[in-house]
Amino acid sequence: MSQSVAGSIASPVSIPVVPLRELLPWALFGGLLMLLLIYFVGAEQGATSLIHGRAVHEFVHDGRHLLGFPCH
């Protein structure tokens, strides 16, 4: 059984190029979110606390231990 494959030759795939001007704002936004996350997991307690109470500390408590931040 022979099949004709004349029309099914694969054309090369072109990868779209993303200009740096379009990528930079998203990279900065992601970096700021990561810094904010690291702050809340690593330093939001005690004298450096921005939010009053222990709600944030208790919310990120297990993540703090998982990442190796001292807690108590």
Each residue's pLDDT tens digit, 8-64: 677 888 888 888 899 999 999 999 999 988 887 777 776 677 777 777 777 888 888
Domain membership of residue 4 (yes or no) is no
**With a threshold of 0.75, does the pTM exceed it?**
no
d(C-alpha 32, C-alpha 34), whole Å: 5
Q: Can you give the residue range of the structural domain that contains 47?
A: 20-66
Check residue 22 and give its pLDDT: 92
Domain membership of residue 12 (yes or no) is no
Check residue 3 and give its pLDDT: 58
Cβ–Cβ contacts within 10 Å for residue 41, how many? 19
* Residue 2 pLDDT level (bands cut at 50, 70, 90): low
Domain membership of residue 1 (yes or no) is no
Domain membership of residue 46 (yes or no) is yes
Residue spans of alpha helices (H) in the chain: 20-42, 55-59, 61-66
Domain membership of residue 6 (yes or no) is no
Domains in the chain, number? 1
